[in-house]
């Protein structure tokens, strides 16, 4: 009986710590609005430049719309990754996180979830608006949102591994891109494939299931890799 009570108390304590981590990260993000605005503005500007550069032919823009949305979303997520661990590394909070008595796996999940809420969720909400600007077929709108909901967390988790490895470097932008871009390719292929299949009227549930599998794999393994990478970077 006492064992069950202690276990329940421990679980409640972990949930409260994760909730406190999410609240802290959200508060810090909104105190630095650039962390929220910069990736979103990059996404908007990059997508709106395509009609200006390639013309306004509706058929052509509709054909490239899934790739444009997904590539710019991927780059926007990559742009936002520098804010994931950099400030905590500079002010010493990262060392406190690593020494926390709570399981580091769950603390990292809470931190990455907060980052996704700030950097990726606005992009997902705005994606259908920009897709309609590119004359994307209405059949592709819901699959686009679903693919981004499954794909952007994977991008964030994989980007967290690269950021953890390079957090101690003063100029890590190019190295970070080299490390994580190859890992992003399957997500990009499956994400655009889901939307393209929906537009063409073919079944896309298989590709969506592959994205879901990547999401499950990333949630299971990425925090472990991030933890090991942070310990290497700090030491």
Query: pLDDT tens track of the chain, all 235 residues?
Result: 445 434 444 455 667 777 777 787 777 777 777 777 888 899 999 999 888 888 778 888 888 899 999 999 999 998 888 777 777 777 767 777 777 777 888 888 888 888 898 889 999 999 999 999 998 988 989 999 999 999 999 999 998 888 888 876 666 667 777 778 888 999 999 999 999 999 998 888 999 999 999 999 999 999 898 888 888 777 6
* CA gap 114, 111 in Å, rounded: 5
Looking only at Cα atoms, what is the longest distance across the chain?
70
Q: What value, to the nearest 5°, has the Cα angle with vertex 49 and ends 44 and 50?
A: 110
Q: How far apart are CA 230 and CA 190, in angstroms?
A: 29
DSSP string, 10-67: HHHHHHHHHHHHHHHHHHHHHHSTHHHHHHHHHHHHHHHHHHHHH---HHHHHHHHHH
104-119 vs 121-133: helix crossing angle, rounded to 10: 30
Please tell me the predicted confidence (pLDDT) of residue 24. Answer: 76
The number of helix segments (H) and strand segments (E) in the chain equals 10, 0
Q: Are 106 and 12 in contact (CB under 8 A)?
A: no
Would you give the DSSP letter of residue 102? S
Number of structural domains the chain divides into = 1
Domain of residue 228 covers 2-234
Alpha helices in the chain (DSSP H): 2-31, 34-54, 58-80, 86-91, 93-98, 104-119, 121-133, 141-166, 173-200, 205-234
Q: How distant, in Å, are the alpha carbons of 43, 156, 210 from that of 191?
A: 17, 15, 9
* Whole-angstrom distance, CA of residue 41 vs CA of residue 218: 27
Say whether 174 sits in a helix, a strand or coil.
helix
> What's the CA gap between 160 and 86, in Å, rounded?
11
| pTM for the whole structure | 0.86
């Amino acid at each position: 009986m006492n064992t069950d009570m202690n276990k329940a108390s421990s679980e409640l304590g972990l949930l409260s710590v994760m909730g406190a981590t999410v609240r802290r990260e959200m508060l810090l993000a909104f105190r630095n609005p650039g962390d929220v605005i910069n990736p979103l503005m990059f996404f908007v500007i990059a997508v709106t430049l395509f009609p200006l550069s390639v013309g306004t032919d509706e058929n052509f823009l509709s054909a490239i719309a899934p790739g444009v949305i997904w590539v710019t979303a991927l780059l926007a997520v990559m742009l936002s990754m520098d804010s994931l661990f950099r400030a905590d590394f500079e002010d010493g909070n990262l060392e406190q996180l690593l020494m926390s008595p709570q399981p580091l796996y769950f603390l990292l999940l809470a931190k990455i979830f907060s980052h996704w809420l700030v950097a990726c969720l606005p992009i997902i909400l705005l994606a259908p608006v920009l897709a309609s600007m590119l004359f994307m077929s209405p059949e592709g709108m819901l699959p686009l949102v679903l693919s981004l909901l499954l794909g952007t967390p994977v991008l964030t988790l994989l980007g967290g591994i690269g950021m953890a490895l390079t957090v101690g470097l003063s100029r890590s932008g190019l190295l970070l891109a080299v490390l994580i871009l190859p890992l992003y390719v399957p997500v990009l292929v499956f994400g655009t494939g889901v939307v393209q299949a929906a537009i063409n009227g073919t079944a896309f549930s298989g590709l969506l299931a592959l994205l879901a599998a990547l999401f499950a794999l990333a949630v299971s393994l990425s925090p472990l890799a991030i933890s090991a990478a942070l310990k290497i970077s700090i030491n």
